[in-house]
Structure 1
Amino acid sequence: MSKYLWRFASSAGFIIQCSCVAHCFFHYVGDLVLCSGPSMEPTIFSNDIILTEHVTPKLQQIQIGDIVISKCPYNPEQNICKRVKGLPGDKIHTNYGRTEIVPVGHVWLEGDNSTNSTDSRNYGAVPQGLIKSRAIYKIYPFMNISSLNR
């Protein structure tokens, strides 16, 4: 009986260790994101899966042209996928004919599909602290694997 108990405990310990490593990886290094909605078309379509990394936002190294995953500024239970169009201090000329200056600690986010995207043009600059990750590869559908780097 103790032989089976030892095997069970050993297997359980291995599963717990793997789970801890996976959790740390997905929390601190990167993860997979299933995208939905038309705001990033034609770059990213609904049901595309992208690989993201968490290091760049934590080091505050986001640059113009990066595609980021962020908490929605008006609905924190929702994530958004948008492209960085402006960094702190940048002047942004909106479609409505006004000029916005991105405040310190914020970024300007816009979807690639400007006719069908709710973004900074609607809710203003987004705090950098809401950015969770930076998209680096579109990995699904497999026939459309591509880099999403600047």
Structure 2
Amino acid sequence: MSIFATFRRVLYKGGVVALCVVQYGCIAHCALEYGADFVLCSGPSMEPTITTSDIVLTEHITTALNRTKRGDVVIARSPVDPRQHICKRVVAVPGDKISKGFFTEYVPRGHVWLEGDNHNNSTDSRSYGPVPEALLRGRVICKVWPLRDAGWLSARQ
């Protein structure tokens, strides 16, 4: 067997392996971008529901179709710092009335009202107002880590 035939065979097998790696990479990217992924949470705003270093499983279909409902816990891009993501609970959906002291505000169409479960230590819609639904990244389905706390998240109304 000539050196050219051997080189051609190695090159062909390397190309097949590279093609498989690219295909599986594309599948993994699409699954994580448009399906579901894992998120490491940090900060006290969702305590005791979600604490720092908890890992949660999120799905992206509900938020992509704007089907979030009151009580859902979501991951969203922060309206004050677009490089940061926040984990909050949907308290009000478009058309709902929010009372802020002596004032009443309605959640506009295309927006949601997000608040942390730890009201004393949470920067949320009470500070920056309604959040556009386009900033919602995913809906939290369950907590997967630590194992002793693993389980489905209940939607509070």
Q: How does 1:1-150 map to 2 (within 5 A)?
A: 1-94=7-100, 96-150=101-155
Q: Deviations over 1:37-69 (max 9, x none)?
A: 000000001111111111001111100000011
| Structure 1 gap segments, 5+ residues each | none
Q: Which has the larger radius of gyration?
A: 2
Matches of 1:41 and 1:118 in 2, distance apart?
13
Uncovered stretches (5+) of structure 2, i.e. residues with no partner = 1-6
Query: Where has structure 1 moved over 3 Å in runs of 4 or more?
Result: none
The farther-off stretch of 61-70 and 98-107 is: 98-107
Deviation at 1:90, TM superposition (A): 0.6
SS at match of 2:94: coil
Structure 1 residue 89 displacement after superposition: 1.0
SS where residue 134 of structure 1 aligns?
A: strand
Q: CA RMSD in A?
A: 1.2
Q: Equivalent pairs: percent with the same residue?
A: 50
Post-superposition shift, 1:128? 0.8
Deviation at 1:103, TM superposition (A): 1.2
SS of 1:132's equivalent in the other structure is strand
Q: TM-score, normalised by structure 1?
A: 0.94
